[in-house]
Amino acid sequence: MIRIFGRGARDGASLSDNRGGPWGPGGGGDDGGSGGGPRNPWGQRRRKPSPGGGGGGDGGPGPFDELLRKGRERFGGGFPSDGRPYWLYGLGVILVLWILFTSVWQISPQERGVVTAFGRYTQTIGPGVGFSLPAPFGHVAKFDVQGIRTISIPTSGENLILTGDQNVIDLAYSVRWTIKNPELFAFQIADPEATIRDTAESAMRSAIARVTLDDAIGAGRADVSQRVQANMQQLLDDYGSGVQVEGVAINQSGPPEAVNQAFLEVSAAQQRAQSAINNARSYALQLTARAQGEAAAFDRVYVQYRAAPAVTRRRMYYETMERVLQHVDTTIVEAPGVTPYLALPEIQRRAAELPQPQGAPAQ
Amino acid sequence: MNRTLRNPIAIGIIAILLLILLVSTVSIVRETDQAVIVRFGQPERILNRYQPGEQYGAGGAGIALRVPFLEQIVWIDKRIQSITMENQQVLSADQQRLEVDAYARYRIVDPLRMYVSARSAENVSSQLQPILSSALRNELGRQPFAALLSPERGQVMENIQTALNRVARQYGAEIVDVRIKHADLPSGTPLDSAYERMRTARTQEARSIEAQGSRQAQIIRADAEAEAVATYARAFNQDPDFYDFYRAMQSYQMSFVADTPTGQPPRGRTSIILSPNNEYLRQFRGGGGGGR
């Protein structure tokens, strides 16, 4: 066993000297040549027996033929034709690549890597290049510690919550969170996302249960979201979840659809009340202005009147009578002995005729 | 020896056998796992047991060896797990129906006891589920509806947690937290009547707002009228006699010389019959002077 491994390793080493040669085409011919790491070499191994067993000559003009040919040139005929050297050759390459791909880790600036060796936590590495044991023995779990994640509740539909005064409101909110401690986040909680969601719902409902309906849909919202955030943080810290709650935002908070009309009615009533008050104010303005106007007019006239009461009085009387009697039918009954004939029908007829001259031109 | 080693089939078989031996001897205990090594059904030892406040990397995680084929390994999650209770109808002490969602978070702290009493972690979860449900029902049934919504809910939750913990300990589990997620009125009559109550409360509010508005409007009008009256009184009270004359003149003019808007027929002709004794005709009679 040991001897075989030794040779395998040596073969691997000699191959790596030759890396530019066979590996260029070798990689290119394989499953579209993706740089997918260790999986590609495995595919190669499976195919290996076919060119080995069937002989290099009759295979297609694939890159393996090239590889085989070069190998044969290098090692001459000193090896049996059962293909074992190539088998080891490949194995060594695979091993090197495997180690390379599974033990070197690139950590982006916003990430932290939690390193485990044989399942045991060893360290948390920062941005840059980090190392771990190769694949089955070591692992690095990368966590984005700066990206803010958002959980929205509810995902769809109405989210009815009971308030402290036993009313029902429809509430939509979102929780923003980040990973504060990657080790705890990786090891403590079985399903962190669901845990945060559950915690949020529970904290929100207990916070809403403390406030009245009017607070929940109005002025108390900021207070509620702060309380939820503090409560969630405390719960998640108690669980040791390694999660930092960055904020809770209430996106929408209102009455349920079924009673929305009644709530709209309230604001309509407020509008109506306001407009009634406005009407009253404008009436009041008119009324007081008119009173002031009339009073002022009276004052002015009265000042002049006092200067010459008798004359002014008569003048005003005559002027008014003049204006009045200009516009009316006047009958004067002269003698006391004459019974006045009051031609009422005549007057009415004249009154009826009067519109006609106006109507005639119109026809 | 050399021949055997060069035979790929033999190498393959040996490798597979070695691999099987390796896998059944060596296992990797991750930080998130606890394990019980069981020999012929008897628990032998515990690996990476949960310790409160332990540091990661300092616990029992890592490589574990066991006697192949004789000893089995039972994996138990070390992390906090949850059991949920969905949409249970609960009757409160005052016979109100509530629809409750709750969850409990627990952790297996005693893998040995868990293995003896439940054999696997899935069994623990399925055993705890009905217990959570019944503990919740019992405790909530003792509380009035209002208490479930009030801050006293904390005490209720603590009672449930205590009750649940008593049972969970028998399975080697520890309840970290019990919380009610939803406590809603069930749809149908209870929700509808709550809606109806909200609706009527809003209608009442709307009415009272409107009534307040019209009350305020009336007060504003009355204030204005009172002010107008005061203004008039202050002015006219200087000389009531002159006011009588002045206003009469205005009134005659208004009554008899009412302007009609242009384009409309006059509102009707007025006839005035004057007695010769009328003051206006005093000079007409040639009486002269100021006397009658």
Smallest CA-to-CA distance from B96 within B181, B179, B200, B191 is with B191
What value does the mean pLDDT take over residues A72-76?
A: 54
What the block records as the tokens of A49 is 């027996």
Residue B228 is predicted with a pLDDT of 92
Measured CA to CA, the distance from residue B173 to residue B168 in angstroms comes to: 5
Smallest CA–CA separation between A343 and chain B, in Å?
11
Q: Determine contact: B23 vs chain A, CB below 8 A.
A: no
Q: What angle do CA A117, A123, A124 make, to 5 degrees?
A: 120
Please name which of A239, A108, A236, A110 lies closest in space to residue A175, comparing C-alpha atoms.
A236
How is domain A149-255 classified at the CATH fold level?
Tetrahydropterin Synthase; Chain A (3.30.479)
| CA-based nearest distance A107→chain B, Å | 21
Which of B35-39, B45-49, B162-166 is least confident?
Answer: B45-49
- Count other C-beta atoms under 10 Å from residue A234's C-beta: 12
Helix axes A344-353, A355-362, angle to 10 degrees: 20
Shortest Cα–Cα distance, A160 to chain B (Å): 7
Which residue does chain B place closest to A286, by CA atoms? B224
Best CA proximity match to B179, nearest among B287, B266, B103: B103
Whether A288 sits inside 8 A of B8 (CB atoms) is: no
DSSP string, A10-36: HHHHHHHHTTTTTHHHHHHTSGGG---
The two tokens of residue B48 are 């990476």
Helix A221-239 × helix A192-208 angle, to 10°: 140
Across the interface, whether the CB atoms of A187 and B31 are under 8 A apart is answered yes
Mean pLDDT of A251-277: 89
Greater model confidence, B225 or B5: B225
* pLDDT score for A83: 55
- The answer to whether the CB atoms of B221 and A284 lie below 8 A apart is yes
Amino acid at A309: P
Query: Collapsing DSSP states into helix, strand and coil, what is residue A212?
Result: coil
Cα(A176)–Cα(A153) distance, rounded to whole angstroms? 11
| Chain B CA closest to residue A162 | B184
Q: Averaged over A330-352, what is the pLDDT? A: 63
For residue A359, is pLDDT > 90?
no
Phi-psi region of B275 (alpha: psi -120 to 50; beta: other; left: phi over 0): beta
Query: Residue B48 region, left (φ>0) first, then alpha (ψ -120 to 50), else beta?
Result: left
Judge: A119–B205 Cβ closer than 8 Å, yes or no.
no
Task: Tell me the per-residue pLDDT of A140-194, one tens digit each, with 9 for 90 and over.
Answer: 888 888 889 999 988 877 888 888 888 888 999 999 999 988 888 888 888 888 8
Residue A341 CA to residue A18 CA, distance in Å, equals 146
Query: What pLDDT was estimated at residue B270?
Result: 66
- Closest to B164 measured CA to CA, from B179, B146, B154: B179
d(CA A143, CA A145): 6
Q: Backbone dihedral region of B180: left (phi > 0), alpha (psi from -120 to 50 degrees) or beta?
A: beta
Beta-ladder partners of B105:
B82, B177
Asked if B19 reaches chain A (Cβ–Cβ under 8 Å), the answer is no
Token representation of residue A131: 């190392």
Smallest CA–CA separation between A247 and chain B, in Å?
19
Q: List, for residues B85-129, the tens digit of each pLDDT value.
A: 888 888 888 888 888 888 888 888 888 888 888 888 788 888 888
User: What pLDDT is attached to residue A335?
Assistant: 59
Q: Cβ(B104)–Cβ(B82) under 8 Å? A: yes
**pTM across the whole model:** 0.65
How high is the mean pLDDT of chain B? Answer: 82
The confidence band for B4, taking pLDDT boundaries of 50, 70 and 90, is low
Q: Using CB atoms, which residue from A266, A331, A332 is nearest to B206?
A: A266
| Contact yes or no for B60/B48 (Cβ under 8 A) | yes
State the smallest CA–CA distance between residue B285 and chain A in angstroms.
9
Quote the CA–CA distance of B169 and B140 in Å, as a whole number. 22
Measured between CB atoms, does B81 come within 8 Å of chain A? yes
Predicted local distance difference test score (pLDDT) of residue B265: 52
Window 273-292 of A: residues touching B by CB (8 A cutoff) are 273-274, 276-277, 279-281, 283-285, 287-288, 290-292
Which residues contact residue B235 at a Cβ distance below 8 angstroms, ignoring those fewer than 6 apart?
A294, A295, A296, A298, A299, A302
Longest Cα–Cα distance in chain A:
170
8 Å CB contact of B198 and A209: no
Least confident of A44-48, B113-117, B120-124, B186-190: A44-48
Is there a contact between A167 and B205 if contact means CB atoms under 8 Å apart?
no
Amino acid (one-letter) located at B151: P
Cβ–Cβ contact B238 with A under 8 A: yes
What are the extents of the domains in chain A? 2-103, 108-144, 149-255, 261-314
Q: Which of A133, A140, A138, A144 is nearest to A180 (CA)?
A: A144
Kindly state the average pLDDT of the residues B17-34. 86
Q: Indicate the SS3 state at residue A196.
A: helix
Return the CA Rg of chain A.
Answer: 51
ipTM for the assembly: 0.72
Q: Are strands A111-117 and A329-332 parallel, antiparallel or unpaired?
A: unpaired
Report the pLDDT averaged over residues A122-135. Answer: 81
Concatenating the DSSP letter of every residue in B256-290 gives HSPPPPTTS--S---EEEE-TTSGGGTTTTT--SS
Distance CA B4, CA A179 (A): 56
More confident residue, B258 or A274: A274
Question: Any idea what the Cα angle at residue B91 is, between residues B90 and B94, rounded to 5°?
Answer: 150
pLDDT value, residue A19: 41
If you measure CA to CA, which chain A residue comes closest to B14?
A1
Percent of chain A topping pLDDT 70: 67
Q: Averaged over A223-238, what is the pLDDT?
A: 91
Is a pLDDT exceeding 60 seen at residue B208? yes
